[in-house]
Amino acid sequence: MPTLHPIFEAQAELRPNDVAVVHGRQTITYGELDARANRLARYLRARGVRRGAAVAMMLPRSIDAYTAILAILKAGAAYVPIDPAYPNQRASWIVADSGACAIVTRTDLAAGRQAVVPVICVGAEAEAIAAERLQDEDAARDDDLCYLIYTSGSTGRPKGVMVEHRNACHLVEAERAIFGVRPDDRVYQGASLCFDLSVEEMWLAFAAGATLVAATPEMCCAGPDLPRHLAEQGVTVLSCVPTLLAMMDDAELPALRLLIAGGEACSNQLVARWARPWRRMVNTYGPTETTVIATYADVSPEQAVTIGRAVPGYEIRVLNEQLQAVADGEAGEICIGGAGVARGYRGLPDETRARFVEIDGERFYRSGDLGRFDRDGNLEFVGRADGQVKLRGLRIELGEVEAALLRDESVRAAACVVRDQQVVACVVPRNGAFHEERVRARLQNWLPVWMTPSVFETMSEFRCCRAGSSITLR
């Protein structure tokens, strides 16, 4: 089976002068981006990167970032994206846990951070990189790792999902068939590169020879004004979370012909606002562990919203705790099998065995999501069976936030909830004293901004029981 980067290389050979990426006022063609990635790949090999290695990448959305991703893959390694906004402690932990042999970043982003492995700064070392030969030597195989994406972990630490080239290639080919992106399309890339939605955004464009429109910081902060920016950039394909759609008005987006929703529940009201006769709207579902999406459904205002049917090459089962099929119409755990099921979690064999299970001789991922099939065989999402929640499409294990709270000596017990689109921490102080400023500062040294509690509520005691994605205090 193929590896991921030759899909890009095929488009670079077919249409070398077409624009591959637009980022603000910067543009780069397919031929130029491929040449830059080849040189960086050669440079990485000269710095000791070998097939099967992991290379951390700490870059924001930029031409440098897409160059780095392609180069790491061409070098035979897996890329480990780290958001530059992550606290130093968390970023360093991910580098160490992934076993990364190097970090590709910029000088300004590396400043003040402890480097435990070689640091390659694309700007400062640009002259040496540009001096490398153009010839590329494909070192990867289809069962090699393509990327490791770290998600929130219920054990108190993020966990790295290991996705192989064959998983990613199947996604790209399946989505090429499902969505029909064309060379003349302009695909918006707004997700952080450390979330797997970015994989879908990038490769929707690169597999079709389309133009990837990378979000600038101004676009990311635009909020309700984002449609104006998208219209100015001529965006025709948008994949995003429903929360973002709810903030916007589509009046300025008559050119948007394909809208893909995913990452959290999509309502009928949202479909009614955004569905148009000239626009295809698709609702998708899938955990990071099954390579971005596993089901999809074309949606319209006339029909109830579901998460649809399995992506070609996948199999969906709804099972009870004994991993047996539930009766028609009953809810159970959504279990996903097929070509997109990842290798497992980096360095977590017990959790891998618990989540990635064999059923009837096939490997399935136990999602922890609850669902049921409707009369037409479409899958309906019901909720969660544990403490995982989605906040603006971002996956949060509340257990990780609670574990971080309990590391402070002033906290005797902790439980977190999501209320009014923010994380709320409920704490029982030790000896009646809770040092909120100290706790908040310590959390900010470990948790990303979107996981850090916005509100702290203290109480003398509580008992809590998880109900889907919420905590009931009583």
pLDDT of residue 386: 66
Round the CA-based radius of gyration of the chain to a whole number and report it.
22
- pLDDT of residue 15 exceeding 70, the answer is yes
Provide the pLDDT confidence category of residue 101 given band limits of 50, 70 and 90: very high
- In the three-class reduction of DSSP (H, G, I as helix; E, B as strand; rest coil), residue 128 is classed as helix
Q: Which of 341, 340, 288 is nearest to 173 (CA)?
A: 340
- In the three-class reduction of DSSP (H, G, I as helix; E, B as strand; rest coil), residue 315 is classed as strand
Q: What are the CA-CA distances from residue 193 to residues 59, 153, 288, 425 (Å)?
A: 8, 18, 13, 28
- pLDDT of residue 469 exceeding 60, the answer is no
Strand 119-121 and strand 102-105: pairing?
A: parallel
Q: 252: which DSSP letter?
A: G
Taking residues 92-106, what's their average pLDDT?
94
Q: Which amino acid is at 111?
A: A
**Adjacent-strand bridge partners of 105:** 121
pLDDT of residue 22: 98
Provide the pLDDT confidence category of residue 372 given band limits of 50, 70 and 90: very high
For 94, the enclosing helix (H) or strand (E) is helix 88-98
CB 138, CB 77: distance < 8 Å:
no
Residues constituting the chain = 474
26/213 Cα distance (integer angstroms):
10
8/12 Cα distance (integer angstroms):
6
C-beta neighbour count of 418 within 10 angstroms: 16
Query: 264 vs 100, which has greater pLDDT?
Result: 100
CB 404, CB 446: distance < 8 Å:
yes
Provide the pLDDT confidence category of residue 451 given band limits of 50, 70 and 90: confident
Taking residues 124-152, what's their average pLDDT?
83
pLDDT of residue 124: 84
Provide the pLDDT confidence category of residue 138 given band limits of 50, 70 and 90: low
Q: Which of 464, 474, 460 is nearest to 430 (CA)?
A: 460
**Adjacent-strand bridge partners of 238:** 259
Q: φ, ψ for residue 62 (rounded to 5)?
A: -175, 165
Taking residues 452-469, what's their average pLDDT?
66
Taking residues 207-219, what's their average pLDDT?
96
424/447 Cα distance (integer angstroms):
14
CATH architecture for segment(s) 388-473: 2-Layer Sandwich (3.30)
Question: Tens digit of pLDDT for each residue in 217-274?
Answer: 999 887 788 999 999 999 999 999 888 888 888 878 999 999 999 988 888 989 999 9
The overall average pLDDT reported for the chain is 89
Q: 224: which DSSP letter?
A: G
Give percent above pLDDT 90 in the chain.
Answer: 62
CATH topology of domain 5-221: Rossmann fold (3.40.50)
Taking residues 284-295, what's their average pLDDT?
96
At how many degrees (to 10) do helices 30-46 and 63-74 cross? 60
- 211: Cβ–Cβ under 8 A, 6 or more apart, which residues? 18, 19, 20, 21, 22, 185, 186, 187, 205
- In the three-class reduction of DSSP (H, G, I as helix; E, B as strand; rest coil), residue 323 is classed as coil
CB 367, CB 161: distance < 8 Å:
no
Predicted TM-score (pTM) of the model is 0.86
Question: Tens digit of pLDDT for each residue in 425-440?
Answer: 888 888 778 888 888 8
Q: 465: which DSSP letter?
A: E
- pLDDT of residue 28 exceeding 90, the answer is yes
Taking residues 444-451, what's their average pLDDT?
84
Q: Which of 397, 391, 401, 388 is nearest to 427 (CA)?
A: 401
- pLDDT of residue 463 exceeding 60, the answer is no
Between the two ends of the chain, the Cα-to-Cα distance in Å is 54
CATH 3.30.300.30, the chain: domain bounds: 388-473
CATH 3.40.50.12780, the chain: domain bounds: 5-221
